A and B are shown apart, each in its own frame.
Chain A
Amino acid sequence: SQKIEQNSEALNIQEGKTATLTCNYTNYSPAYLQWYRQDPGRGPVFLLLIRENEKEKRKERLKVTFDTTLKQSLFHITASQPADSATYLCALSDYKLSFGAGTTVTVRA
């Protein structure tokens, strides 16, 4: 069966450092991979989408990589700020989305 695993449940990081989150998947060949941000008590908000034929995508301080051979995506938040504290979800898509459980990031001032 398909499985999507995100790295350790919580990531604590000092302001200004780079946070790196991992999303690994098995038994799946997604055409797209997405990352969402979710704040407590709110619905997820779309951040970035990367296609299977793209290696890397950037948006402001965010960078996503997608390695279909390793079946892995890395999500980087550079120059992290306390406002980046949230749970980040990866989602694999063909015509519907399958989500990982998320990684909670806390950025300390």
Chain B
Amino acid sequence: DVKVTQSSRYLVKRTGEKVFLECVQDMDHENMFWYRQDPGLGLRLIYFSYDVKMKEKGDIPEGYSVSREKKERFSLILESASTNQTSMYLCASSLSLADGNEQFFGPGTRLTVL
């Protein structure tokens, strides 16, 4: 079974702090994704990566950056956290972008920015 793990289930940070969210997958998947999920808005794609050191902006990249130094690890960085970044953050991975791109999700990190 594919396993996607995220470094924290719950996180509380202060406005202006730099925040790192880590994601690790164990199935040698090429692609990794970061989403945020807010009530009534569904999952929105922040960034994704289709190879080591490669990244592409999603629908809402502003205020975020990402890093993928190793194939199994994809980090989301909030350079200066703001209260409107309080959300559930979900990481996912997939084997291929073609043929439907079935994704495997981690358990999520609920981030609160005070």
Contact = CB atoms under 8 A, between A and B. Distances in A.
A9 B98 CA distance: 31
B40 A101 contact: yes
Interface stretch (A11-19, A60-68, A89-97): A89-97
B42 A95 contact: no
B80 interface: no
Contact of B42 (A31, A42, A99): A99
Contacts of A31: 100
B24 to A, nearest CB: 14
Given A89-B43, A101-B42, A42 B107 contact: yes
- Tell me the dominant secondary structure on chain A's binding face: strand
Size class of the A contact interface (CB-based, 8 Å): 20 to 34
Given A32-B100, A49-B100, A43 B41 contact: no
Given A43-B90, A101-B40, A102-B42, A95 B105 contact: no
Contacts of A89: 42-43
A42 B45 contact: no
B108 A43 contact: yes
A82 interface: no
Given A32-B101, A43-B4, 17 more contacts: A4-B42, A32-B100, A42-B108, A44-B43, A45-B105, A46-B103, A49-B100, A93-B101, A95-B97, A95-B101, A96-B33, A97-B43, A97-B45, A97-B101, A97-B103, A98-B45, A101-B40
8 contacts: A32-B101, A43-B90, A43-B108, A44-B105, A45-B105, A46-B102, A95-B101, A98-B59
